[in-house]
Amino acid sequence: MQTIEALLLEPVGCLAEFPSSQFHQIAVRLFRRKGKASLSGSRSYWRLLNLLDALDAPLNEEKKRIAEAFEIEAVDAASMYEDVVPALAELKSMGIRLFVTTSLSRKAALRFIERNSLGEFLSGVHTRDDAGGVKSAPLLSALKGASLSPEKTMFLTDTLEGIQAARSAGVHSILMMNDPDEAQRLAMHNPAGGIVSMHEMPDFIRLIDAQNQKTRDL
Amino acid sequence: MIVEAIGKISSPELRNASTIGGDLLQEVWCQYLRGGYSCWRNGGYLCYGAIGDNSYYHSAMGGRLCYAVYPGDAATALIPFDARAKLATPQGEKELSIEQMVPGDMLVDGKIQSHVVRYNEILTSVVIPPPKPGVRASFEKLRPRGVWDFAMASLGISVQLHDKTIEDSRVVFGGISGKPYREKTVEAFLKGKTLSAELGDQAVSVALADAAPLKYNATKIDMAKGLLASGLARLNT
């Protein structure tokens, strides 16, 4: 792996535990989905993104408003992981450029950033509204907008769809191993790496750097 | 106590053919690493122990990328005596405490290892200072099989007594963390206490508050606490 210069962060499941019900409600209201909400906020979110991704035309204004309102509700109910802020501060001090790249609406993403005081760590925010699409679209928008080199960029995710989105954008998919059983299943899909906690991310990047340094020295 | 601890390392055949340096600086015994999985110590970027079977050889005290436990017993027994290691390095001799030499997962020369000895350094000797007056020590080890197995949990403990009052102590757990885990909270708790039959239970109540077990290894913490109680009981006899 090349020395890492940038990290793309999806708030849902990687920076914070999100509730499932709001994403499920969007699927029910906009796509007439039936059944129970998943226990995992991440899984509900990415299932919803699959539905949004499959649309032939963009959501109309009314549906956009409905989705946004539920997303903001989800942001307000989300609880950020305690290791995130120290890890982001350390990563920033190491010179790693940090971007929120999310399929949430811009309004919901900005609210999440503001509520959790993350603005000072970020070099940019790319949402589905900016990118004109979901899943890999915000990643591609960040790569293009900030002239990032994909092989020097990581995307953190805790779902199979996230791994696939990273792969299709050409960046390294890093599995956030929140749930060991789910992570075991996802590890079989060959993510580029995996961490148990955000506090490991700075060491991950240092290790890659040290490995590359060693190769250069030989 | 050190002789007793060394006698519990591996099998007689392996013990008689090996060195103290080999035990102190050995690679972790994670089944995923040994099984050729592409983990942190094997050229990959993921700890399979953190998400797979972590019942035996993985940390119950958190981790730093790799979640394998430090497998050696000698360090757990030597730290209670403030033992030191001497290294030959290109810059001359270097001396470290055993605790400093085996601090747990470290990035050294572009790889993760449990110790800080670099590729161009050699461990040449281990120095054990004479025990202070009034020192009693004990080593306890729980393992799945009677011989030739690594600690599920182990304990090296020393107390320096004046009459029956503990003036100083060292409490070091093995088999539960990526390093020999020195439990300074218990050491502080023991200071000034009288060695008694009840002390073990009291010490257990403050021990290992920072435990962060993985899915299958919470029992390691119970075992370690049990060893603390039995270790203190042994010192009281």
Judging contacts by C-beta atoms under 8 Å, the chain A residues touching residue B63 are 196, 200
Kindly indicate the confidence band of residue A36, based on its pLDDT and cuts at 50, 70 and 90: confident
Q: Which of A29, A44, A77 is the last residue of a domain?
A: A77
Same domain, A141 and A52: no
Kindly indicate the confidence band of residue A93, based on its pLDDT and cuts at 50, 70 and 90: very high
By Cβ distance, the residue of B40, B44, B107 closest to A206 is B107
Q: Which pLDDT belongs to residue B146?
A: 78
Judging contacts by C-beta atoms under 8 Å, the chain A residues touching residue B51 are 177, 180-181, 183-184, 187, 194
Q: Is residue A1 part of a domain?
A: no
Q: Is B143 exposed, middle or buried (0-12, 13-18, 19+ CB in 10 A)?
A: middle
Q: Which pLDDT belongs to residue B191?
A: 98
- From A209's Cα to the closest Cα of chain B, the distance in A is 8
Q: Is residue A101 part of a domain?
A: yes
Same domain, A111 and A211: yes
Same domain, A134 and A182: yes
The CATH code belonging to domain B135-235 is 3.30.390.50
- Specify whether domain B2-127 bears CATH 3.30.465: yes
- What ipTM was predicted for this assembly? 0.90
Interface contact flag, A207 B63, Cβ < 8 Å: no
- Residue B113 neighbours by CB distance under 10 Å: 19
Q: Which pLDDT belongs to residue A136?
A: 96
Same domain, A156 and A109: yes
- Residue B117 neighbours by CB distance under 10 Å: 22
- Average pLDDT across chain A, whole number: 95
What CATH code is carried by the domain that includes residue A102?
3.40.50.1000
Same domain, A96 and A186: yes
Q: Which pLDDT belongs to residue B193?
A: 97
Q: Which residue of A has its CA nearest to B48?
A: A184
Residue A217 has pLDDT above 80, yes or no: no
> What range does the domain containing A64 cover?
19-77
Q: Which segments in chain B show pLDDT lower than 70? A: none
Angstrom distance (rounded) from CA A85 to CA A74 = 20
Same domain, A90 and A182: yes
What are A59-74's pLDDT values in tens digits? 899 999 999 999 999 9
- Quote the number of domains for chain A: 2
Angstrom distance (rounded) from CA A117 to CA A128 = 21
Kindly report which listed range (A49-53, A57-61, A84-88, B85-89) carries the lowest average pLDDT score. Answer: A57-61
Q: Which pLDDT belongs to residue B206?
A: 98
Q: Which of A52, A68, A47 is nearest to A132 (CA)?
A: A52
Question: Position of tokens 């915000």?
Answer: A138
What are A140-192's pLDDT values in tens digits? 999 999 999 999 999 999 999 999 999 999 999 999 998 999 999 999 999 99
Q: Which pLDDT belongs to residue B144?
A: 86
Task: For residue B173, give the amino acid letter.
Answer: F
Interface contact flag, B51 A183, Cβ < 8 Å: yes
What are B209-232's pLDDT values in tens digits? 999 999 999 999 999 999 999 999
Same domain, A67 and A166: no
Q: Which pLDDT belongs to residue A196?
A: 95
| Domain residue ranges of chain B, discontinuous segments joined by + | 2-127, 135-235
Interface contact flag, B40 A207, Cβ < 8 Å: yes
Q: Which residue of A has its CA nearest to B65?
A: A200
Q: Which of A99, A207, A111 is nearest to A147 (CA)?
A: A99
Residue B214: C-alpha distances to residues A177, A205, B170, B184 (Å): 12, 24, 26, 23
**What tokens appear for B155 in the block?**
């304990």
